[in-house]
Chains A and B, each alone.
Chain A
Amino acid sequence: MNVRLFYPLALAAAMAALLSACNSGSPQDHAVNAGADSLSVKPGESGQLLNVQGKLFSIPSPVQAALLIKKADLPYRQSLPLATDSVQRFTSKDKRALALGMLGADLAYRTVYKDGQAAIKTLRAIEQVSSQLNLSNAFDKELVDAFKRNLSSEDSLLRFSGKAYRAADIYLKNDQQEDVSASVLAGGWIESLFLSLGDATDKLDPKVATRLAEQKNTLGNLIALLSQANTQPELVKQLQGLKTVLDGVKTTYTFVKPTLDVAKKTTYINSATSAEVPPETLNAIVAKVREIRSSIIA
């Protein structure tokens, strides 16, 4: 690098660091700035926060999967979630991010099955991993204490964890750590699927089988996010293998006009869908999910 190029870069970096220090609050600080004025966006600079060619992707919350598992009356398997005393095995940033997502799914699972003590241990493991990812303000002692105080209120616990994970996501995206954000989502998604399979002795519930079949689009979104981040090539490859299997699911969609209740600010989406999963495809999905989960925790 020549001197002429070095000076502007050095000056820019210094000023950017100063600006960044002014703007990047902790994960839970964002509420403090609520009175700030909005900022105008200049032409030509818009869209730089957009993901993947102007598209943003949503990955279903692990809480939804945990609620479905409970609704399907599947037996609670205490040994399925990650062992909370083994999180030190995740030594890289990418693995820790995956683990943080997985622990979020485990927390939801333990919460809906009202295993309060195990949920608190999971939360402590989350605290440990999030601290290694510099996200300790989203999952701090205050959250653990609030969790303990509300152990009897499942709704409050699920809400707390949803808010904490959102605070972490806000922080990560503002800090340009989209790769970590994508890995957290991937970990949560894989763990949710893994938990929904139960253990090897459990028969797959039809509701769960349908939900597995409905993941094709979500998986495509996840692969797009991870591919853009480009930090988990091995995982992307494995997910592409799972997608190939999921492509064997036949889906149909029939549009039905939605109905509206304006007073309740509600739209009822009545379209009909179906997903048909041949047994061999289902078995292949189950095997792939277990394989991917095993390789993450190996």
Chain B
Amino acid sequence: MNMRTLISTFTLVASLAFAAGASAQCDTIASLCEKNITAEYIPDGQFYRALLHDDEQAEFNLTLFGGTTYRVAACSGTSDGNLIFSVFDKDRNLLFSNKEYNNDPYWDLVVANTLEVTINAELDPRRSTSGCAVMLIGFKK
């Protein structure tokens, strides 16, 4: 096997190793983040995650139904407060951002009428420059 072949093998293996490691990282964060969806909330059954680097943002699109209280939990890394999440309506009006509240890892949204929202998640550059962003959603009965 020549040097070129070795390099390409190494690159391929590194990429695959990264993908496997990233999945494990997201998995761990999801476990830690689940504590924020407390017993009063029913998990929505889905797992949202994205790998972020520097100022990249993940965009989560969802419909919030009227008459429902949602809990949004957003986590990255193994401690709270690494992830900034902001909720916008379809006209990009800001409805909430945890940035103003110490990057709180969870927040409740009481929705009067059904609306489409986008949740943008980004790493707080003061705390982290890369990592897996995990978002979990629960709702009250």
Contact = CB atoms under 8 A, between A and B. Distances in A.
Contacts of B31: 30-31, 33-34
Contacts of B17: 15-16, 19
A287 interface: no
A267 interface: yes
Nearest to B116: A217
Contacts of B53: 41-43, 45-47
Contact of B109 (A24, A104, A211, A269): A269
A272 B42 contact: no
A134 interface: no
8 contacts: A7-B5, A15-B16, A38-B131, A39-B21, A49-B51, A56-B48, A173-B47, A268-B110
Interface residues of A, number: 85
Most buried by A among B31, B87, B136: B31
Contacts of B137: 58
Contact of A271 (B56, B104, B115): B115
Contacts of B132: 38-39, 41, 49
Contacts of A40: 130-131
A159 B56 contact: no
A88 interface: no
Contact of B63 (A38, A60, A67): A60
A91 B111 CA distance: 41
Contacts of B74: none
Interface residues of B, number: 83
A206 interface: no
Interface of A: 4, 7-9, 11-12, 15-16, 19-20, 22-25, 30-31, 33-34, 36-43, 45-50, 54-64, 67-68, 104, 154-155, 158-159, 161-163, 165-166, 169-170, 173-174, 185, 188, 210-211, 214-215, 217-218, 221, 253, 255, 258, 260, 262, 264-275
A34 B1 CA distance: 40
Interface of B: 1, 5-6, 8-9, 12-13, 15-32, 34, 39, 42-54, 56, 58-66, 68-69, 77-78, 87, 89-91, 93, 95-96, 101, 104, 106-116, 130-132, 135-139, 141
A264 B71 CA distance: 12
Contacts of B43: 61, 159, 162-163, 165-166
A57 B107 contact: no
Contacts of B21: 19, 23, 39
Among A15, A46, A163, A217, max chain B CB count under 10 A is at: A46
Contact of B58 (A16, A48, A54, A61): A54
A54 B65 CA distance: 24
A266 B68 CA distance: 13
Contact of B64 (A104, A269, A270): A269
Given A8-B12, A56-B50, A58-B137, A46 B130 contact: yes
Contact of A266 (B22, B54, B110): B110
Contacts of A270: 112
Contact of A38 (B39, B47, B62, B77): B77
A36 B24 CA distance: 9
Contact of A214 (B5, B32, B91, B114): B114
A48 B89 contact: no
A30 B27 CA distance: 6
A126 B130 CA distance: 38
Given A12-B12, A58-B44, A258-B95, A174 B110 contact: no
